[in-house]
Structure 1
Amino acid sequence: MKKSIAGAALASAMLLALTGCSTGTPESDGTVELTFWHGYTEADGDVLNALVDEFNESQDEIEITPVVKPWATLIDTVLPALTSGTGPQLLAMPPEQIPVYASKGALLPLDDWYAEPESGSDTLNAEAVATGTVSGEKFGVPLSFTPLTMFYNTALFDAAGATVPTTWDEWVATAKTLTVDSNGDGTPEQYGLALQDNATVGNGVWPSLLKSGGGDVVTADGEVVVDSPENIATLQYWADAVQNDKISPTGLTGADADGLFNSGKAAMTLGGPWLATASEAAGIDWGIATIPAGPDGVKASALAVDMSVTSQASDEELAAAETFFTWFYQPENMVTWSLGSGWPPLTTDVTPDQVAENPVVAALTEQSQYGVALLPGVIPSTDILTELDTAVQKSLAGGDPAELLGTAQEEMTATLAD
């Protein structure tokens, strides 16, 4: 079962006691001050900090100070900082951390803000909201939510007279057409697809394919269902395509797949917006398209980051953070955030036309309707995905999908029961 957060209220009280309990007393000039830790260190960090500055200048009641830390450092240091009373009131982090910190009482629930008619939360992408939800309670608001997408080499497609596939069968057929083994030695010089199957934790490739095939990994109520008939059929389908038709090499990490695509040795791969920049630098003419539909349609697992309010925040500081959330999700701010960061907007009221100056963002904005949260609310999500990774890699290398998913089912169930 999914780990419960029962007892979080007691844990929160204990944590607050350790921190000395923030009183929420405003500064002498009446301004409520918040510290905001986040891990965006590139252009996305610049635009986020600029938006925070703009928010500060838009009113004189709240002052937010961003503190940038690499994600790994942030995750390692935030709980000790909260325990010592030196942590932030506002925190950005990958959503797999939210159930961990919620279970420790380190985060405040945000359901009241979501329920407020004037909050603007009704425009948020529902699956993006799900990334910060634990056992039905909301502990995060979305900061980025980027569905997995397909990149393709337009020059290779044009040379082969190929069209962009929209279904799995078309995808495999197109990949076969674009796989070239000119000397017949069984090792193609050009692959139709670079399909990651190694060290893929967090990139969402296989949860996307399993969901598109009608299956899942862990249900919303915490039941492990990875050995379902639908998942066995999906894994067998792709194992057959890789083994019989040599459309993709096996043992590919995400970096390996990017490298094949950017060297012109793979015609298609799956990734995120970063791949566009790398491909342009490598001189690859690329296109971007929605992941082709499986038997259950298109389900593209999304890479995400959420904002949370920590238990160090007082009532006044919580209210101030919620004021910032409402401001942040205004359409003009979503456009600024998306164009500056390269991530699609988080609200459904921003259209692709409004971000058309960045073709990747515009494409991902249209594809956001297919984005799904990756194992929301599951505490040991990395362990679960590692087990899935093992089953997938061994299956594509020739193992029995039913047997391997059965083993994964047992391991995942034991992991969630711990």
Structure 2
Amino acid sequence: MMKKKAFAAAGMIAVAALALTGCSEDAAAPEGPTTITFWHGYTEADGDVLATIVDDFNSSQDEYVVETEVKTWAVIDDTLLPALSSDEGPDVVAMPGERLPVYADRGAFVDLTDFYSSPESNTAEVVPQAVDMVTVDGKPYGVPAGFVPLAVFYNKTLFESAGINEFPTTWDEWVDVASTLTVDEDGDGTPEQYGVALPDHATVANGLWPSLFVSGGGEIVVDGTEAVIDSPENAATLEYWTSAVADKKISPTGLDGIGADELFSAGKAAMHVGGPWMASIAEANDIDYAIAAIPAGPAEQAASAIGIAMAVTTQADDAQVKGAEAFFSYFLQKDVAVDWSLGSGWPPLRTDIPVSDVAANPVVVALSEISSTGRALLPGVVNSVDVLTAVDTLTQKSVAGGDIDDLLGTAQSEIQEAVN
């Protein structure tokens, strides 16, 4: 803990010094377009469409020029603070949404409250849960670049072979269907085919179990600072799914996210919870798939949403902040938002874009139709990594037969320490 606190303090001091330096340089700013450096990790089709959007923005006006640098998400996470400390960082950076609060807390990002209050920002129609993802202590420190709820990808061929014509809509129906699709031909207790690949740890974006907790009426953290995982609702959720996996054997125990991907891609699991990338995995393995919302629990139908956020760093001077905000406004224009959605595979970020506008991409259509189930994963939680590690330990040990009450008590203490 001491090392983390020292690192955070050093980061804040360095970034604060950066901000002061930036102010002194404003007066001597050169004439001509203001250059804005932008780090991001989009490397596939999403990177191509983003490059086009950046080029179009640069051509649309003559005040600003956005220059992109492509890095892996891990490299961005590892190098951002050191780069800002030496005045060699980006003016705009994209990163997984759950990491934004870490850097906002360390003073690395600009508060965008005034930007959001402007009608020219194009933020009024942005999906509210996506805005929650970039909000820390009640202030927005970024804009969403992607927000998508986890969904169930299912093998249509296996469903049809079992005579199942409709996808389940409730937990009980989901477990019943998964039981029907679980096949143990030789009766040795180890199915050759599982109804669902349900990881009990290292899950996709660590969002599967948080989805189940919310659907069951529970939470993990509230207001970004209070651990509430030790609740009757979460105990009931753990008991329900532990029984489904360990007793009904609808999924292997001890399964992690990579193992779940492999089971589904090999046709040995009829269902799998994932994000847009599962479409390409299924297609690469010749699986005839469809997409559905995670079935509703006793409290509601909800799914943790994964996302990408863009933020302005405090290295940026006043002109660069204005340019970054101009780019964000452009990115969130309705027509640009449609182009980004179609090209990247993410559902539209705006609530006023009808599904018909993205009909050219069936995956986007399917994910858009279930977008209302999305819930930001641990919004505003600075130390999300340690929180999700505690959840991982809780779920893995629960499915392995541990005492749920004891495990919840331990997780409660660990999570509270993390958010403190």
TM-score (norm 1): 0.94
The answer to whether the 8 Å contact 2:14/2:85 transfers is no
Residue deviations 1:267-306 (CA, integer Å, cap 9, x gap): 1110011111111111111110011011121111111110
Where does residue 365 of structure 1 map in the other structure? 368
- Report if the CA contact (8 A) 2:235-2:405 is conserved: yes
Give, in whole Å, the separation in 1 of the partners of 2:22 and 2:199. Answer: 44
Q: Superposed, which structure 2 residues align to 1:105-120 within 5 Å?
A: 105-120=107-122
Q: Which residue of 1 aligns with 2:352?
A: 349
Cα deviation for residue 353 of structure 1 reads 1.3
Q: Name the residue aligned to 1:330.
A: 333
Q: Distance in 1 between matches of 2:27 and 2:100?
A: 23
Deviation at 1:203, TM superposition (A): 3.3
8 Å contact kept, 1:201–1:389: no
- Find the residue that maps to 1:122 and give its secondary structure: coil
Cross-structure match for 2:130: 128
Contact 1:19 1:85 in 2 (8 A): no
2:416 to 410, 413, 417: 413
Q: Which residue type is aligned with residue 232 of structure 2?
A: P
Q: Which letter does structure 1 place at the counterpart of 2:334?
A: P
CA 1:198–1:388 in 2, change beyond 3 Å: closer, same or farther? same
Give the distance between the partners of 1:24 and 1:240, measured in 2 at CA. Answer: 66
Code of the aligned partner of 1:214: G
Deviation, 1:214, is 0.6
Cα distance 1:315–1:144, how it changes in 2: closer, same or farther (>3 A)? same
1:203/1:303 contact within 8 Å kept: no
State how 1:219-238 maps to structure 2 within 5 Å.
Answer: 219-238=222-241
Aligned pair in 2 of structure 1 residues 220, 11: CA closer, same or farther (>3 Å)? farther
Within-5 A mapping of 1:236-385: 236-385=239-388
SS in 1 for 2:324: helix
Q: Deviations over 1:367-405 (max 9, x none)?
A: 111111111111210111111111101111222222211
Secondary structure at the counterpart of residue 379 of structure 1: coil
1:202–1:382 contact (8 Å) kept in structure 2: no
Give percent identity, aligned residues only: 55
The residue type equivalent to 2:308 in the other structure is V
Distance 1:191 1:21, change over 3 A: farther
Q: CA RMSD in A?
A: 2.0
Q: Which amino acid in 1 is paired with 2:307?
A: A
Residues of 1 paired with 2:27 and 2:186: CA distance?
Answer: 72
Query: What is the aligned partner in structure 2 of residue 141 from structure 1?
Result: 143
Q: Give yes or no for contact 1:19–1:82 (8 Å, CA) kept in 2.
A: no
- One-letter identity of the residue aligned with 1:131: M
Give the TM-score taking structure 2 as reference length: 0.94
Please state if 1:45 is matched with 2:69: no
* Structure 2, gaps ≥5 residues long: none
The residue correspondences of 1:90-105 to structure 2 (distance < 5 A) are 90-105=92-107
Distance, in Å, in 1 between the alignment partners of 2:30 and 2:270 is 58
Aligned match of 1:85 in 84, 87, 97? 87
How many aligned residue pairs are there?
A: 413
Contact preservation (8 Å) 1:21, 1:312: no
Q: Does the CA-based 8 Å contact 1:19-1:84 persist in structure 2? A: no
Of 187, 193, 201, the match for 2:190: 187
Contact 2:18 / 2:85 at 8 angstroms: preserved in 1?
yes
Rounded Cα–Cα distance in structure 1 between residues aligned with 2:186 and 2:126: 52
Cα contact 1:93–1:307 (8 A) shared by 2: yes
CA contact (8 A) 2:15 2:85 kept: no
Which deviates further from its counterpart, 204-213 or 401-410? 401-410
**1:49: Cα distance to partner?**
1.3
In structure 2, the CA distance between the partners of 1:221 and 1:204, relative to structure 1 (3 Å rule), is closer
Match of 1:151 in 2: 153
Q: Give unpaired runs (5+ residues) of structure 1.
A: none
